[in-house]
Structure 1
Amino acid sequence: MFRHLAALLLGLVIAIPAQAFDTRAQAAWVYDMTTGTVLLEKNADAPLPPASMSKLMTLNMLFEAVKDGRASMDTTFSVSTKAWQMGGSKMFVKPDDRPTVEELIHGIIINSGNDACVVVAEGLAGSEENFAKLMTQRARDLGMTQSTFANSSGWPDPNQRMSPRDLGFIATRLITEFPEFYPYFAMTEYNYKDRVPANSRNRNPMLRTGGNGDWTADGLKTGHTSEAGYGLVGSAVHQNGRRIVFVLTGMASEAERAQEAEAITNWAFREFVQKTVAQKGTRIAEADVWLGEATKVGLVVGDDVELLLPSLAQETLKANVVYSSPIEAPIEDGQKLAEMQIDIPGIPMVTIPLVAEQAVPKGGFTSRLRTAFGILAKLVVAEVAEFQS
């Protein structure tokens, strides 16, 4: 077996690359959820202080608890002295309160309540320390390799770290896995027991902008500490249905955060257009088969291939097909056999799986004999060529 790489044209070469976005953020990650395309990476895998953006992981833990029945939206948690005395952004719970899970969700998302996070941590794991360990383990289970947690709120700690890619992953997970909870992220005000000051509304600046009507922002979480700077995990959906998730961190001010978030959203929606470059079942290439009833098998796309292309690109697209050749029979219909690597200037390489066009059973004696004669013929040709040289 050897690795085979074949170049091809999908009938579509990119002549004009996308104009790269020169962000002022220390680190950034922009992802088109509709097509699964990473549009921008800047220090995307650096473990950085996430500030309150790490509350997204706390919310993930809480949503999972509700989903698997360990808690319900009406479940109440007690408020410890530690939770009551938390500084920074607060939901303003008191020791004699018994807030429900739904109230705490409001308090974490809208008020960014550090106190609410501690209440959740203690309610689910007995202590915030235990909860932080569970958060870290769950992050590993989900593939978030650059995330470690020392607390539930994002309070400054050298062991509280998340990469922009991990933040983007957990944001995407909240949107896709918990659609019933996602509308909370678009809410701008919540006043628990009339204790919350007017300036404690949702700080996400994107909820008050809209790309001149082209798109609508509906999440997710801001963050700020002196160490982390100003950050935002945001999501917006275009009127054409495309959704993006982005992470920006390490900015100098609230104003810069707001400007950068709106600019990067406009760039993501206006710089790229969505196109179908191959329909389900389209044969992209064919591969040799070893010891099968057929000597070749078609390599096709299993689903429609939707790509984001620079809006000024010409109608051409270069790609490579990579697989181990020859492919040994038996082969099942729809079995993944290869990858198509598509290089679009301006964004990371896109990889599309290719599957078998049809089943190829293992060959009988005749097929094996034919294969043996084929190998022998190639060896004879090679020996003759070497002798003549």
Structure 2
Amino acid sequence: MKKLFAAVLMSVSAAAAFAVPFGSQSVLVVEDDTGKVLLEKNADSVVPIASLTKLMTAMVILDAKQDMDELIEIDKSDVDTLKHSTSRVPVGASIARRDVLQLALMSSDNRAAAALARTYPGGSVAFGAAVKRKIAALGMTQTVIEEPTGLSPQNRSTAADLVKMASAAANYPDITRITTDPKDIIKIKGRDVEYHNTNRLVGAKGWDIGLSKTGYTQEAGRCLIMRVKAAGKNATMVLLNAGANSVRILDALNIRRHVLGDSAPTALTADNPMRVKVSSGGGRVKHVKVRRHRRPKTGA
């Protein structure tokens, strides 16, 4: 009888975990104060993590306690030759390390992340060794990070491990501040340049975000880590391998509804794209293109 009860309980828990429709291939939502798993889908699948890597890069850089006012010159070796991604940080620009960190985290700039690793004490090799030590210290047993940007598909982890990384990153005030800045102006070669957060939910009305990082490569899909507060609860969400940015955003909206206790979250349908308004501070409205949604049928 006890075994039967346990089996029924497990099946009910599994059904509850998948009651919310997700477009992301891996999902994990954990209540920060208790460690309770609120939502889960393929949380132990090892997959590429794209620029979520940069949270690890930032922690290792900050652990080194380098002079954050020191100027770093962006070098040709910092240019992405793997994916040939674009950058608004020109080669030859001299930028304070604190601003390079801002660019790497808030705007997810790959040249900035590469420059941080290159100028780490002992260079890129020492940086890589420090990353391995940090991964081990955090107990991220299913994680491999081979370079600082996330461009390599060999940077791989699980949603479960990434919750550990997010929890650790949340203890760094510089990381929480930078990743929740909607935008910043940084002087580049004597000119003020405005950069924006890659997560359009940062600064949006109704969102209390304590940590944020997006990621995207073709192999990893659209990824997101956020720590949010809703209805008095603090929770960390990890979304991996969503097919589009709109899907990633809608998954985050559904998770917020779940945390708030909404029993009928928004579901994606296969057609009829539409735009959803996401209000932000300063009277601006961001338009996010998503697919038309419907309420799930009762019992479906």
**1:173 counterpart = 2:168:** yes
The Cα shift of 1:84 comes to: 4.4
Q: CA deviation at 1:161?
A: 0.8
SS, match of residue 250 in structure 1? strand
Q: Which residue of 1 aligns with 2:284?
A: none
TM-fit CA distance, 1:127: 3.8
Q: Separation in 2 of the partners of 1:90 and 1:134? A: 26
Q: Does 1:265 align with 2:256?
A: yes
Structure 1 pair 85–28 and aligned structure 2 pair: CA distance change class (3 A) = closer
CA contact (8 A) 2:101 2:116 kept: no
2-structure distance, mates of 1:208, 1:258: 14
Distance 1:106 1:245, change over 3 A: same
* 1:262 shift after superposition: 1.4
In the alignment, which residue of structure 1 is the partner of 2:134? 138
Task: Name the aligned partner's letter for residue 87 of structure 2.
Answer: K
Give the aligned partner of residue 42 of structure 2. Answer: 43
Give the secondary-structure state (helix, strand or coil) at the position aligned to 1:167.
helix
Q: Conserved in 2, the CA contact under 8 Å of 1:49 and 1:162?
A: yes
Q: Look up the SS of the partner of 2:144 in the other structure.
A: coil
AA aligned to 2:45 is A
Q: 1:378 maps to what in 2?
A: none
Which digits, 9 at most, give the CA deviation of each residue in 1:162-185, with x for residues without a partner? Answer: 21112121111111x213541211
Q: Which segments of 5 or more consecutive residues in structure 2 lack a partner in the other structure?
A: 1-8, 264-300
In the alignment, the residues of structure 1 paired with residue 234 and residue 56 of structure 2 have an alpha-carbon distance, to the nearest angstrom, of 21
**Counterpart for residue 242 of structure 2:** 251
State the AA in 2 paired with 1:120.
L
Which residue identity does 2:101 align to in structure 1? I
User: What 5-or-longer segments of structure 1 have no aligned partner?
Assistant: 1-12, 273-389
Does the alignment pair 1:94 with 2:91? Answer: yes
Residue-pair matches, total: 247
1:152 partner SS: coil
Task: Please name the residue that 1:29 is paired with.
Answer: 28
- Contact kept, 8 Å, 1:131 with 1:151, in 2: the verdict is no
The match for 1:57 is 56
* Per-residue CA distance 1:239-267 (angstroms, 9 max, x = gap): 53x21110001111111111111111221
Shift of 1:203: 1.7
Q: 1:239 to 1:35 in 2, by over 3 A?
A: same
In structure 2, distance between residues paired with 1:21 and 1:163: 20
1:153 aligns with 2:157: no
Query: What is the DSSP-based 3-state SS (H/G/I as helix, E as strand, rest coil) of the residue aligned with 1:120?
Result: helix
1:208 positional shift: 4.5
2:57, 2:148 within 8 Å by CA — same for their partners in 1? yes
CA distance in structure 2 between the aligned counterparts of 1:93 and 1:48, rounded to whole angstroms = 31
Query: C-alpha separation between the residues in 2 aligned to 1:179 and 1:219?
Result: 10
The Cα of 1:63 is off from its aligned counterpart by: 2.1
Map 1:365-384; keep pairs closer than 5 Å.
none
- Which of 205, 208, 212 is matched with 1:216 structurally? 208
2:231·2:260 contact (CA, 8 Å) conserved in 1?
Answer: no
Distance 1:148 1:206 in 2: 28
> Residue 22 and residue 89 in structure 1: after superposition, are their counterparts in 2 closer, same or farther (change >3 A)?
same
Of 173, 176, 182, the residue aligned with 1:182 is 176
Amino acid of the structure 1 residue aligned with 2:240: T
- Compute the TM-score of the two structures, normalised by the length of structure 1: 0.57
One-letter amino acid matched to 1:269: L
Q: Deviations over 1:97-139 (max 9, x none)?
A: 3322210121011211111111110111444344234312320
Corresponding residue number in structure 2 for 1:75: 70
Shift of 1:156: 2.5
Structural mapping, 1:103-122, within 5 Å: 103-122=99-118
Equivalent residue number for residue 203 of structure 1? 198
Q: Which secondary structure state, in structure 2, belongs to the residue aligned with residue 99 of structure 1?
A: strand
Q: CA, structure 1 residues 127+254, in 2 after alignment: closer, same or farther (shift >3 Å)?
A: same
Q: 1:100 to 1:255 in 2, by over 3 A?
A: same
1:268 alignment partner AA: V
Secondary structure of 1:147's counterpart equals coil
Report if the CA contact (8 A) 1:91-1:192 is conserved.
no
Deviations 1:183-222 (A, max 9, x none): 2111122343357987x62121321434xx4x52243111
CA distance in 1, matches of 2:150, 2:175: 21
Q: What is the one-letter code of the residue matched to 1:88?
A: S
Shift in CA distance, 180/203, structure 1 to aligned 2, threshold 3 Å: closer
Instruction: Name the SS for the 2:216 alignment partner.
Output: strand
Aligned partner of 2:297 in structure 1 is none
